Amino acid sequence: MSLAEETRAAARRRPFLVDALRAGVVNYTAAARELAEEMDGDPDNDSVATALRRFADSLPDRDADSRSARVSMKSGLGEVEASADAADALLAVGDTRLAPGEGSLTGVLASGDVAATALGHVLGRLDAEGVAVRAAGLAGESLLVAVERRDGPDALRVVEDALDAVPGE
Percent of the residues in the chain that have a pLDDT greater than 90, as a whole number? 53
Most confident by average pLDDT, 39-48, 78-87, 126-135: 126-135
Angstrom distance (rounded) from CA 15 to CA 84: 41
The 8-class DSSP code of residue 86 comes to G
Give the mean model confidence (pLDDT) for residues 5-24: 90
Looking at residue 27, its pLDDT comes to: 95
pLDDT for residue 22 is more than 60? yes
pLDDT for residue 56 is more than 60? yes
Cβ atoms of 163 and 66 within 8 Å: the answer is yes
Looking at residue 85, its pLDDT comes to: 58
Q: What is the mean pLDDT of the chain?
A: 88
Q: If pLDDT is split at 50, 70 and 90, which confidence band does 65 have?
A: low
Domains and CATH numbers, the chain: 3-58 (no CATH), 65-167 (3.30.70.260)
Alpha helices in 15-103, H assignment, sequence order:
15-23, 28-36, 45-58
**Does the pTM exceed 0.75?**
yes
pLDDT for residue 39 is more than 90? no
pLDDT for residue 86 is more than 80? no
Looking at residue 169, its pLDDT comes to: 57
Cross-strand partners of 105? 77, 148
Alpha helices in 37-168, H assignment, sequence order:
45-58, 116-128, 152-163
Residues 6 or more apart whose Cβ sits within 8 Å of residue 159: 71, 108, 110, 122, 125, 126, 145
Select from 57, 19, 17 the least CA-distant residue to 34. Answer: 17
Query: pLDDT digits over 103-162, tens only?
Result: 999 999 999 888 888 899 899 999 999 999 999 999 989 999 999 999 999 999 999 999
Cβ atoms of 49 and 10 within 8 Å: the answer is no
